[in-house]
Structure 1
Amino acid sequence: MPGLSVIIVNYKTPQLLTDCLATFFTGNSQVSLEVIVVDNASGDNSQEIVTRAFPLVKWVQMGYNAGFARANNEGIRQATGDVVLLLNSDTLNVDNAIEQCYQQFKASAYIACGVQLLNADGSPQISGNYFMKGGLNYLLPLPYLGSFIKWLGNVVKVEKPNVPDSSALVEVDWINGAFLMVKRTAIDKAGLLDEDFFLYAEEAEWCSRLHKTGKLCIYGQYKVVHLQGESANEAFGSSGKGYYNLYDRKGLQIMLSNFLRIRKQFGIGWFLVQLAFYLMAIPVFFIASFFDNVFRLRNPFANFGMAARFAANVGRIVTFTPRILSNKPYFYKVL
């Protein structure tokens, strides 16, 4: 029986996936390893490319684009290891970080862990996070209004909701889903990922339940490169890194998943507070961008197209509101 089961969800990213697998199928592993690739109906030659290069990989076909939570859940159900690692296809194992992390983690009392994620240039990426009341950190990407909220938070010295860089062990509330290692005993207690989610925010909600069973941490001494957003951007024809893109279909999925998480983890009250801020951000965006461009001697209407796309996405969130508030099972997929 393998000690570690690595689960990677694939959707039309065979090159990223083969590059990822090449960094830990080196022949030097001292760990009994099981690798499960769950394919979300890529409809390409991903399986042929990957299994030819790595015949030990177990390939699982979902048959439809099931997203992150459902695909990983299927991988977890088929995994046989005592420890499960959810790993993005756009990651690169550095200096055998996966095995070293596993060895330290399995001997610890922690129930879930991550590593320090790096950008391609070696700069640190946010890997661990703290829960902020009501998920108020989701207001930070709002155009103009988010910058004001961030400034206000700095003035009143609100603690940052994340660990920007770590070089040693740091305890956190939730872990970036690009690299999330969890003990099977904790999954048995907390349950699987919530299958209402299609993509984004599902690992935060899951960690909120895992956290009730034990402590989570980041092992900052171990590094893994995460080509942040590359798999999603490549698959969905979007651009930008992180969660500040709120203006296209990917941005709508991010917003919808964030609101779903707020409802599930923090309740109806905080959901309505967040929605009020997003609605308020629409006129703020139009008015502030107009005067901002005038002040900078640019076309005052230059950002109106982006503001209109943001407004349209918020409008879609409003249409989902009754369903989200009901908290009944539903697959929130818009990509």
Structure 2
Amino acid sequence: MTDLSIIFVNYKSAGLLIDCLDSIYKETTGISFEIIVVDNNSEDNSQEKVTRLYPNLKWIQLDYNAGFARGNNAGIPHATGRNILLLNTDTIIQENALYKTVALFEEHKEYVACGVQLLNTDGTHQISGAHVMKGGLNTLLPLPYLGSFVRYWGYKLNAKIPSVTTVAAITDVDWVIGAFVMVRKDVLSNSGLLDPDFFMYAEEIEWCARLKKQGKLCLFEEPKVIHIGGGTSSDFYDEKEWNNGKNLWNRRGRQVIVSTQLRIRKEFGIGWFLVLTFFYVIDVPVFLFGLIIEKLFKGKEARYSWQNFIEYTKNIGVLLGYFFKMLRNKPFFYKVK
């Protein structure tokens, strides 16, 4: 049996994918692996570019942009490896990281899924996984003004910082960043695949919650992988800045808000979903009041603009438009326009 099946979801990112494949073939020895690429209807010459250089990989062509969860779900049934790696196209493999990860994963059978130390392009550490906070309260931190209030009380109450940026040896986590998630294929019959309701963002967190019912999850320190960040999603959202969900008043932020609340509903239930939705909604008047005060006293140096407020308010309107669908928790593809 193949040691590792590597699955990519591609959307107009042939250049990034080729760079990653180059690094895999250059930096990987000691294990057998296969490459599976699922293309989310790029409608460009991605397939020609990639398969010309790597003709032996499996290319699965979808006829619509299925997003991250459905894209990976389309690839997983074609995997023959005993371990499956969901790998972003905007990653670079270093120093035989795949062999090291597989070796550690097979040594530590108590873990059903794992990640590695992710690095920024300058070599500094990047958030690689996290611990779950009750009810997902940490998802409120990006809220304008109100998020600062939540952060203040978090520090006051000595709340544990959920994000894991620096991995120490083997670090247990509740979820692994979706850029690099390795899972044992034999656990998927019980955990299920990624939830197809998600288009983009938060799907790996919800999936990890189900995987964790089968066993522990961890991050390994020794294997290191560069994660450029936002490669595919920036193409879709036509944005140059990778803000990792901190900006809630643009198109990407709209999807982040909806996907985050979808995850809260699925993982924590109706009660927490209602609580967090209340915070998103109440932040509209809080945002307005805070912005008026800042504009009066700081003028052009205010953190936010009137356009930020208007777009955030529109995004909350979109969230409320999905409110009853999420409440009922019936199958639906939450791809936000």
User: What is the alpha-carbon distance in structure 2 between the residues aligned to residue 301 and residue 93 of structure 1?
Assistant: 37
The Cα offsets for residues 195-252 of structure 1, whole Å up to 9 and x where unpaired, read as: 0111110100000000000000000221111111122112321233211121122111
Q: CA deviation at 1:54?
A: 1.4
Structure 1 counterpart of 2:198: 197
For the residue of structure 1 that corresponds to 2:290, the secondary structure is helix
Please state if 1:43 is matched with 2:43: yes
Match of 1:246 among 232, 248, 251: 248
Structure 1 counterpart of 2:321: 319
Give me the CA root mean square deviation.
1.5
- Residue type at the aligned position of 1:229: G
Q: CA deviation at 1:289?
A: 1.8
- Residue type at the aligned position of 2:54: F
- What is the identity percentage for the equivalent residue pairs of Structure 1 and Structure 2? 47
Structure 1 counterpart of 2:150: 149
Q: CA deviation at 1:256?
A: 0.6
Deviation larger for 294-303 or 251-260: 294-303
Please state if 1:183 is matched with 2:184: yes
The Cα offsets for residues 118-177 of structure 1, whole Å up to 9 and x where unpaired, read as: 111111111111111111111000011101211110111001112121141100111000
Structure 1 counterpart of 2:64: 64
Match of 1:275 among 252, 274, 277: 277
* TM, length-normalised to structure 1: 0.97
User: What is the alpha-carbon distance in structure 2 between the residues aligned to residue 271 and residue 229 of structure 1?
Assistant: 27
Equivalent residue runs for 1:84-233 within 5 Å: 84-109=84-109, 110-233=111-234
User: What is the alpha-carbon distance in structure 1 between the residues aligned to residue 11 and residue 247 of structure 2?
Assistant: 21
The Cα offsets for residues 21-52 of structure 1, whole Å up to 9 and x where unpaired, read as: 11011285221101000000000000011111
Q: CA deviation at 1:304?
A: 1.0
The Cα offsets for residues 62-105 of structure 1, whole Å up to 9 and x where unpaired, read as: 11111011110111111111100000000000111112111110
Kept in 2, the 8 Å contact 1:120–1:226? The answer is yes
Gaps of 5+ in 2: none
Structure 2 counterpart of 1:74: 74
- Residue type at the aligned position of 2:220: Y
Distance change in 2, residues 1:322/1:301 (3 Å)? same
Distance change in 2, residues 1:37/1:302 (3 Å)? closer
User: What is the alpha-carbon distance in structure 2 between the residues aligned to residue 247 and residue 324 of structure 1?
Assistant: 21
Distance change in 2, residues 1:328/1:199 (3 Å)? same
For the residue of structure 2 that corresponds to 1:55, the secondary structure is coil
Equivalent residue runs for 1:249-260 within 5 Å: 249-260=251-262
Please state if 1:293 is matched with 2:320: no
Count of matched residue pairs:
335
User: What is the alpha-carbon distance in structure 2 between the residues aligned to residue 272 and residue 191 of structure 1?
Assistant: 26
Q: CA deviation at 1:113?
A: 0.2
Kept in 2, the 8 Å contact 1:290–1:301? The answer is no
User: What is the alpha-carbon distance in structure 1 between the residues aligned to residue 86 and residue 301 of structure 2?
Assistant: 46
* TM, length-normalised to structure 2: 0.96
Kept in 1, the 8 Å contact 2:13–2:231? The answer is no
User: What is the alpha-carbon distance in structure 1 between the residues aligned to residue 165 and residue 150 of structure 2?
Assistant: 19
Kept in 2, the 8 Å contact 1:290–1:300? The answer is no
Gaps of 5+ in 1: none
User: What is the alpha-carbon distance in structure 2 between the residues aligned to residue 28 and residue 182 of structure 1?
Assistant: 19
- Residue type at the aligned position of 2:42: S
Kept in 2, the 8 Å contact 1:91–1:178? The answer is yes
User: What is the alpha-carbon distance in structure 1 between the residues aligned to residue 59 and residue 297 of structure 2?
Assistant: 56
Kept in 1, the 8 Å contact 2:229–2:242? The answer is no
User: What is the alpha-carbon distance in structure 2 between the residues aligned to residue 297 and residue 305 of structure 1?
Assistant: 15
* Consecutive aligned runs of 4 or more in structure 1 exceeding 4 Å deviation: 299-302
- Residue type at the aligned position of 2:8: I
Kept in 2, the 8 Å contact 1:291–1:300? The answer is no
User: What is the alpha-carbon distance in structure 2 between the residues aligned to residue 136 and residue 14 of structure 1?
Assistant: 37
- Residue type at the aligned position of 1:85: L
Q: CA deviation at 1:301?
A: 11
